[in-house]
Amino acid sequence: MTTTVKTPLPTSDALRSRVRDALTAVGSSVTLGDPGAGGLTASSPINGDVLFTLRESSIGDVDAAIAEAAHAYTTWRLTPAPVRGALVARLGELLVEHKAELAALVTIEAGKITSEALGEVQEMIDVCEFAVGLSRQLYGKTIASERPGHRLMETWHPLGVVGVITAFNFPVAVWAWNTAIALVCGDTVVWKPSELTPLTALGCQALLQRACADVGAPVEVSRLVLGEREIGEKLVDDPRVALVSATGSVRMGRQVGPRVAARFGRALLELGGNNAAVVTPAADLDLAVRGIVFSAAGTAGQRCTTLRRLIVHSSIADELVAKIVAAYRQLPVGDPFAEGTLVGPLIHERSYRDMVGALQQAEAEGGEVTGGERHDVGDEGAFYVTPAVVRMPGQSAVVHTETFAPILYVLTYETLDEAVAMNNAVPQGLSSSIFTLDIREAERFLGADGSDCGIANVNIGTSGAEIGGAFGGEKETGGGRESGSDSWKAYMRRATNTVNYSAELPLAQGVTFG
């Protein structure tokens, strides 16, 4: 399978200059070190080069950041929620103003094509708008009391410092989902971004600090710490961090979840997915192909919601696979900044090696691979691949594993019950979809004995969620929910209040005492 490759790639000097321009425009005054200097490296998957080095946070820096955020919390929690909303509203305005610059940083560090990078910043703007509205809707319930002259109610209070740990593939949106909501809820935030995307994080932090200055909020409501896993571990273990919201691999979640639980902290885990789409004989196949190709090949297969398994009725499998392979042939792969590119680079060499290993394992397990080749773009350190389609004879170990690269495994089914069971057969439970025009099939998939995922769609792919819904998944995906709906409740604590306004003291359940 051949795809066109957009070259030449931008030079490192050109990328450095774009980074400097973007960071200056957003108001960051960070010192960017030369590539050879020590510290945290900032690289680009576009050409695989180290662009800059940055000062890495020490454990002492994290300690200080937590202390500052904890101190800011003592006043921020008492600031009226709509006033807290004004800070998030200002952040949203600055994001609108600097959308292009922030998106350029996302493209440089995460390799997303421009349209997807702009979409990610738009998601930040959307969640800011949502959070501003929420700042006037943080309400509890009043519940009928069984006792006369008593009122029973729920009050929602701020929680404390929220430690936000994020993955490379959504370097800005996930921070915004957490931070915009946490701030209106009265919490303060310490952010540990992926070590692969520190420049993007510096851009976000600069905008939030400006927003704080503009509305007169303490800048300590948001702190940024840069570094690798050990820096995240400090947030995980520190009892001053009330909630650890961690996004990343299942491997990371397995470490973070028990450590936070051991100190009775709260964890919100958004981990890996292994998402499937069921395509039935009643599907609109052309619409299905469009949804499948975007979900499977978009972001070079590096979304948590990427479509990784296609479960197709045996009667239409040959036709559908032929259409997908034909569509894949048209996908322009290459420089994510170039107009028309639809598939950018993999994040790094390890990701490419994982893809090669998975394809070899799939072949050993009886799979027939189409695509998956690496393109020679003249830069040894850059990894551009043609998305792969793999027809599998049945369920197997490789199909049950999330390989963070564009591999679509195709499995066939005979009955819808079998298709639903195949959808649910993996340890992860993030996203799923069904393509059908038959309402009975659709409702079966969405029902209590249907898809076991946090996201179940009809006639759209598995990726590209809107911020208005709660986002997250079940099983090894971690169970957390972020962004819209009532996800804000994870960022607050609930107090149940019983108020006795009578002159009597009746006890609940009719108990008498003396």
Of 212 and 296, the one with the shorter C-beta distance to ligand NAD is: 296
Q: Collect all residues with Cβ–Cβ distance below 8 Å to 165 and sequence separation of at least 6.
A: 192, 232, 235, 236, 244, 245, 246, 247, 248, 252, 256
Closest by CA position to 456, among listed 486, 474, 434: 434
Q: Minimum distance between the CB of residue 178 and ligand NAD, rounded to whole angstroms?
A: 11
Site for ligand NAD in 400-419 (CB under 6 A): 402, 404
Task: Give me 253's structure tokens.
Answer: 């979640």
Q: Minimum distance between the CB of residue 479 and ligand NAD, rounded to whole angstroms?
A: 10
Element spanning 247, H or E:
strand 241-247
Count of CB atoms within 10 A of residue 302's CB?
23
Instruction: By CB under 6 A, tell whether 233 contacts ligand NAD.
Output: yes
Closest by CA position to 161, among listed 178, 173, 140, 177: 178
Whether 288 contacts 320, CB under 8 Å? yes
Of 10 and 198, the one with the shorter C-beta distance to ligand NAD is: 198
Task: Give me 109's structure tokens.
Answer: 């560090």
Choosing from 270, 402, 441, 476, which is the catalytic residue? 270
Among 201, 204, 236, 465, binds ligand NAD (CB under 6 A): 236
The DSSP bridge pattern shows strands 188-192 and 222-224 to be parallel
**What is the radius of gyration, based on Cα positions, of the chain?**
24
Q: Minimum distance between the CB of residue 255 and ligand NAD, rounded to whole angstroms?
A: 4
Q: Known catalytic residue: 270? A: yes
Q: Minimum distance between the CB of residue 272 and ligand NAD, rounded to whole angstroms?
A: 3
Instruction: Tell me the sheet residues that pair with 407.
Output: 388
**DSSP of 10-79, one letter per residue?**
PPHHHHHHHHHHHHHHHT-----B-TTSSSEEEE-TTT--EEEEEPPPPHHHHHHHHHHHHHHHHHHTTS
Of 87 and 304, the one with the shorter C-beta distance to ligand NAD is: 304
The residue range among 65-73, 127-135, 191-199, 367-375 that interacts with ligand NAD, by the rule CB under 6 A, is 191-199
Q: Minimum distance between the CB of residue 264 and ligand NAD, rounded to whole angstroms?
A: 18
Instruction: By CB under 6 A, tell whether 54 contacts ligand NAD.
Output: no
Query: What would the x/- binding string for ligand NAD be over residues 167 to 186, using CB under 6 A?
Result: xxxx----------------
Q: Minimum distance between the CB of residue 37 and ligand NAD, rounded to whole angstroms?
A: 21
The residue range among 67-75, 107-115, 226-234, 436-444 that interacts with ligand NAD, by the rule CB under 6 A, is 226-234
Among 43, 47, 194, 209, binds ligand NAD (CB under 6 A): 194
Size of site (CB under 6 A) for ligand NAD: 29
The residue range among 45-53, 268-276, 361-369, 483-491 that interacts with ligand NAD, by the rule CB under 6 A, is 268-276
Task: Give me 48's structure tokens.
Answer: 């695989």
d(CA 514, CA 507): 11
Site for ligand NAD in 418-457 (CB under 6 A): 430
Task: Give me 356's structure tokens.
Answer: 């090669």
Of 90 and 475, the one with the shorter C-beta distance to ligand NAD is: 475
Among 10, 85, 158, 273, binds ligand NAD (CB under 6 A): 273
The residue range among 85-93, 165-173, 276-284, 412-420 that interacts with ligand NAD, by the rule CB under 6 A, is 165-173
Of 302 and 436, the one with the shorter C-beta distance to ligand NAD is: 302
Of 247 and 451, the one with the shorter C-beta distance to ligand NAD is: 247
Q: Collect all residues with Cβ–Cβ distance below 8 Å to 63 and sequence separation of at least 6.
A: 234, 238
Q: What DSSP character marks residue 373?
A: P
Instruction: By CB under 6 A, tell whether 228 contacts ligand NAD.
Output: yes
Three-state helix/strand/coil letters over 375-438 = ECCCCCCCCEECCEEEECCCCCCHHHCCCCCCEEEEEEECCHHHHHHHHCCCCEECEEEEECCC
The residue range among 67-75, 156-164, 192-200, 376-384 that interacts with ligand NAD, by the rule CB under 6 A, is 192-200
Residue 370 three-state SS: strand
Among 256, 389, 411, 465, binds ligand NAD (CB under 6 A): 256
Query: What would the x/- binding string for ligand NAD be over residues 295 to 334, using CB under 6 A?
Result: ---------x------------------------------
The residue range among 3-11, 19-27, 133-141, 230-238 that interacts with ligand NAD, by the rule CB under 6 A, is 230-238
Q: Collect all residues with Cβ–Cβ distance below 8 Å to 274 and sequence separation of at least 6.
A: 308, 309, 400, 401, 402, 426, 427, 428, 430
Instruction: By CB under 6 A, tell whether 487 contacts ligand NAD.
Output: no
Instruction: By CB under 6 A, tell whether 123 contacts ligand NAD.
Output: no
Burial of 147 (0-12, 13-18, 19+ CB in 10 A): middle
- Site residues for ligand NAD per CB under 6 A: 165-170, 192, 194-195, 228-229, 232-233, 236, 247-249, 252, 255-256, 270-273, 304, 402, 404, 430, 477
Known catalytic residues are 270
